[in-house]
Structure 1
Amino acid sequence: MESEKIELSQKPEQTLQLIRGSIVDAQHKVTSAVNSAMVIAYWEIGEKIYHACGENDRAEYGTRLLEYLSYHLSAEFGNGFSVQNLRNMRQFYCCFPNRYTLCSDLSWSHYRLLMRVSDGQARTFYAEECAKAAWSVRQLERQIHTMYYQRILASQDKMSVAKEIQTTEPKPEYEKIVKDPYVMEFLQIQPDTHVYESDLEQALIDHLQQFLLELGRGFSFVSRQKRFTLDGQNFFIDLVFYNYILKCFVLIDLKTDTLTHQDIGQMQMYVNYYTRELMNEGDNPPIGIVLCAEKNDAVVQYTLPENNTQIFTSKYKTYLPTEEELRKELRLDAFQKLGE
């Protein structure tokens, strides 16, 4: 009797990769569950310490309590329960008093960074954006360092920054994804160094992952030097992205000099072309962003119509400014807006 022949539908390498995928997925779920459980445990520890010694854990009783807890917890559970770490857990509870606002996708290292943000609204914003965009700890640190929250707020409503209040007037959805300025220190171009637009474009493509992070949530790369022809004349759009949250194309033109009204008019033509020829069913109208080394707000104001929702202009920086420099620029932009 002949033995049955088994026909292999997959090669051994394919089977191995499928098995590896299952194992890696399981490991990821276990790691995520462990991280989530540890975050909850640290929050509960912080809550208990807070209720035991109140706001001032550095008072004599609080210090003795923390030293007592640290000694016994370290003896039983090992490292991780120093006096300073216990203070961090108490601060964790104070910064996030509602346990149900904690995100299971964020690790203790994420929350350690978030606790350094003194502004409660900014802290909540970073936590939500971090979870939505799946930022690594390093990415979160960069966004906090470059004042992502302040730049987003200033881009949406500079007047509210000057008044230090949150506006209740709903802003156009498009404005929520445009920042001013954009900080692109990852290009490693020294300040006051002149670069050609083609070189800047190539540098952004070479660092596409970092550039997507700086652009914000929902961006995917579509094309560079996108060509279209009108009456035999060729035109080229530097960079084209698609934002799947807003469901629209985002056209970016790079200018290494001061912005002119011709630059804005050129982008208006690009946006009009995409609106009439390249929008897909279900798309929202495209937007255009002119990234420039310097811009004149008056030129922008009088070139664009008052009801403009599609053309935006932003400065870019090829180096990482200090926090004070960024704050100064945001304040200056805000008060200039107030004076208009």
Structure 2
Amino acid sequence: MSTGQSFILFEKVKNIVTDTQRAVVRNVNAAMVCAYFQIGRMIVEDEQEGSERAYYAKETLVKLSLALNQEFGKGYSVSNLEYMRNFYLAYQDRISQSVTGIFQSPFLLSWTHYVQLLKIKDNDERTFYEIECVNNNWSVRELQRQFNSALYERIALSKEKDEVRQLSQSGQVIEKPADILKSHYVLEFLGLQENAKYSESDFEAAIINKLENFMLELGKGFLFEGRQRRFTFDGDSFFVDLVFYNRLLRCFVLLDLKIGRLTHQDIGQMQMYVNYYDRKIKLPEENPTIGIVLCKEENRTVVEFTLPEHNEQIFAKEYKAVLPSKDALKKQLE
């Protein structure tokens, strides 16, 4: 057997082993989550038989925790048992319709994911993050980051009232240009200080250095096409700061970075970039180009009177260098 054939055989075997390992992990996670659900159900049913529920429940969990830890080792602390109890209470309707046996589970995430989700009190918001976790294969760390950056509120604030409810039923659905937008973008991972002085070149360089994080913040379907894309006509050269392609909308997305307050010149410049890409770059079967001016301070009046009334191609959005206040955004949403 030649070296090339040996390598091909190795790759095939490696893929089988890797796929099997992943399947084992998924099955173990599903079995563990379903077992914890059943433990939570038993705790709730036992509580309902107690005469003094609050005191009885506390004493029961302490004793149960000690006994389980002695039998199986760590992992059954009182706090973890309380999570199992709350897990059952939060998801009992879903599993009662979907599960006929202990190892048949509708849950697609790890127990650590569900522990984080249980910290979200609002049912609609919790369901939204669960859907996004599954659809985007978020790690627990990414789930925490998206929650802390108030993703749910920022998407909801960019939608009409009748579209907000859909977030808790289907997650973020990308069908039209406005669907990829958030009320503002949170870029705390760049390490830029809120009031520090930095240039647009510094801003761009920071994004390129954290490109994976930035694309996660942009949202679904984004592919990076390039930076400082140049085009020239009548002897003048122009540069688009960042160019992406959204495979869901099947169109180019151009980003222009501004570190100050938005001006009408910024909008006009982006209009030229979008027109150029529509007329010279995009293919006939692709959808119209989208342009986003990412600025430190948005000026809605300038946007309103510079762009056509039914504009669906050019947008101006603020960015924040630090995590926003979730409470303030919730109040704004309400």
Q: Which amino acid aligns with 1:44?
A: Q
Q: Is the 8 A contact 2:292 2:315 kept in 1?
A: yes
Deviates more, 1:316-325 or 1:306-315: 316-325
Q: Which amino acid aligns with 1:51?
A: E
Are residues 1:86 and 2:81 paired? yes
Deviates more, 1:223-232 or 1:55-64: 55-64
Equivalenced residue count is 320
CA separation of 1:104 and 1:69: change in aligned 2, threshold 3 A: same
Query: How far apart are the structure 1 equivalents of 2:166 and 2:7?
Result: 58
Deviation at 1:229, TM superposition (A): 2.1
**1:312 aligned residue:** 315
1:31 to 7, 11, 25: 25
Query: How far apart are the structure 2 equivalents of 1:107 and 1:282?
Result: 41
Deviates more, 1:117-126 or 1:58-67: 58-67
Query: How far apart are the structure 2 equivalents of 1:323 and 1:238?
Result: 30
Q: Secondary structure at the match of 2:158?
A: helix
Query: How far apart are the structure 1 equivalents of 2:60 and 2:226?
Result: 60
Are residues 1:189 and 2:158 paired? no
1:144 to 122, 147, 155: 147
Deviation at 1:191, TM superposition (A): 1.8
1:52 to 17, 41, 46: 46
Deviation at 1:136, TM superposition (A): 0.8
Query: How far apart are the structure 1 equivalents of 2:69 and 2:192?
Result: 47
Are residues 1:211 and 2:214 paired? yes
Deviation at 1:24, TM superposition (A): 3.0
CA separation of 1:43 and 1:55: change in aligned 2, threshold 3 A: farther
Q: Which amino acid aligns with 1:96?
A: Y
Kindly report which structure 2 residues correspond to 1:121-270, keeping only aligned pairs within 5 A, or say none: 121-157=124-160, 166=165, 173-270=176-273
**1:338 aligned residue:** none
Q: Which amino acid aligns with 1:186?
A: F
Are residues 1:323 and 2:317 paired? no
Structure 1 residues 185-242: Cα deviation after superposition (integer angstroms, max 9, x where no partner): 1111112112111111111011001101111111110111111223332221111111
Deviates more, 1:40-49 or 1:215-224: 40-49
Root-mean-square deviation (CA), in Å?
A: 2.9
CA separation of 1:251 and 1:73: change in aligned 2, threshold 3 A: same
Unaligned runs of 5+ in 1: 1-6, 336-340
Q: Is the 8 A contact 1:172 1:309 kept in 2?
A: no
TM-score, normalised relative to structure 1: 0.84
